[in-house]
Amino acid sequence: MKLTPRCTVKSLDDNNRDGTFVVLTKIAEIVEDGPWWYSSCVCGRSVQAESGIYFCQFCNIHVTNVTPRFRVKMLVEDSTGLSIFVLFDREASYLLNKTCAQLFEQHLKDVDVVFGIQSPPIFEEIVGKTMLFKVLNRPVGMEKFKGTYPVRRVCDDAAIVGMFELSGSDLSSEKERDHLGNPLRLPNHRIWD
C-alpha cells in the first residue's frame, strides 16, 4: 500500500514537487471570488456559452444538457500558513450533503449568490472545520496555479483526523511510525483510492 506523503501548508508551497500530498488543515473561509459553480458537459468538463450555445471541446459536440457543478475556493490554514484549496464536485457535494444542482435551484432567484458575489449560506457549515485534504501539487512552470491546489479527496472522519493529529510530530518523514516505532497503518486505501 502506497501512503501519500504528508505536508504542511508551507511545505506544499515550498517543496515544488509534482504529485499528491495529504494536508491536515482548517477551512478558514470561503473565497468569494466569482462563482462557486461552473457549467459542465456530461463528461464533467467545463463548457462556456458562445452566442447562447454550449460547446464541449473534449467531446467535440454542442451540449444542450448543461449541469452546474461545484468549484469552491477555500482559504485554508494550519500552524505554518495559509493557502487556497479548490473543492470540486464530488468532494463539495459530499461535505455539503447536496448536489450543486440542488443548491443552484434553491438560490435561482438570488442573483448575488448565483453570480458568486455572495456564497450560499450553507457554505458556513464547513467553515472552521479541520480535515484531511489530498491535494495535487502541479508541475513547476504552471505559475498561474501557484499557491492554489485542487482537492482530490477529503476525509473528515474524526478517528482518522485524530490519528493524523497524533502522528504529526515528524512531518518530514514519509514513512510514519507510531510511538512504538511501528509503521502507522492508516486506512488510506478506503479513504483515498
Site for Zn ion, rule CB under 5 A: 41, 43, 56, 58-59
As a dihedral over the C-alpha atoms of residue 72, residue 110, residue 64, residue 153, rounded to 10 degrees, the angle is 20
Q: Which residues contact 27 (CB under 8 A, 6 or more apart)?
A: 74, 75, 76, 126, 127, 128, 129, 130, 131
Nearer to Zn ion by Cβ, of 42 and 140: the residue is: 42
Q: How far is the CB of 84 from Zn ion (least distance, A)?
A: 27
Spatial distance between the Cα atoms of 151 and 97, rounded to a whole number of angstroms: 17
Nearer to Zn ion by Cβ, of 53 and 117: the residue is: 53
Residues facing residue 86 across a β-bridge: 73, 150
- The tally of CA atoms less than 13 A away on the side-chain side of residue 86 is 18
Nearer to Zn ion by Cβ, of 56 and 72: the residue is: 56
Q: How far is the CB of 88 from Zn ion (least distance, A)?
A: 16
Q: How far is the CB of 113 from Zn ion (least distance, A)?
A: 26
Nearer to Zn ion by Cβ, of 67 and 137: the residue is: 67
Q: How far is the CB of 65 from Zn ion (least distance, A)?
A: 10
